[in-house]
Amino acid sequence: MVSEITPELVRHLGVLARIQLSDEEVERLTGQLSVIVDNIAKVSEVATPDVPATSHPIPLQNVFRPDEVGEMLTVEQVLQNAPDAADDRFRVTAILGEEQ
C-alpha cells in the first residue's frame, strides 16, 4: 500500500479531530506522518483474510450490573471543573454560526 499523506489530508484530519492546526503544524505533521505510515503499513503483509481480528486481549461477555441508580455525582461535582456554567448547566458559545 502506498500512503499519500498530503497537507490537504492532514488539514482535513484536523477538522475531523477538531484540532485547529496551524500551517506550520500541517507541514510538519505531513512529513512525520508519511514516515510513520510507511513503517506501520507493514501490518497488511501478514493480515491475511483467514486471520480473525482481536479487538480485546481477554474476551469478556455480558458484563452487566443490576440496573439500579447509585453512586451519583452531585450537580456541583459535575460542574466543578466546567470552564463555564450557569443555572446548573454547562454553558457554551453559539452552537450555530451566522451562515447557518
Under the rule (CB under 8 A), what is the footprint of other proteins?
Answer: 1, 5, 9-10, 13-22, 25, 29, 32-33, 35-37, 39-48, 51-58, 60, 63, 65, 73, 77-78, 80-84, 90, 92-97
**Burial per residue of 60-98, b for 16 or more beta-carbon CB atoms within 10 angstroms, e otherwise:** eeeeeeeeeeeeeeeeeeebeeeeeeeeeeeeeeeeeee
Q: Which is nearer to other proteins, 22 or 67 (CB)?
A: 22
Minimum distance between the CB of residue 66 and other proteins, rounded to whole angstroms?
10
Smallest gap, in angstroms, from Cβ of residue 69 to other proteins? 15
Location of C-alpha cell 503499513: 41
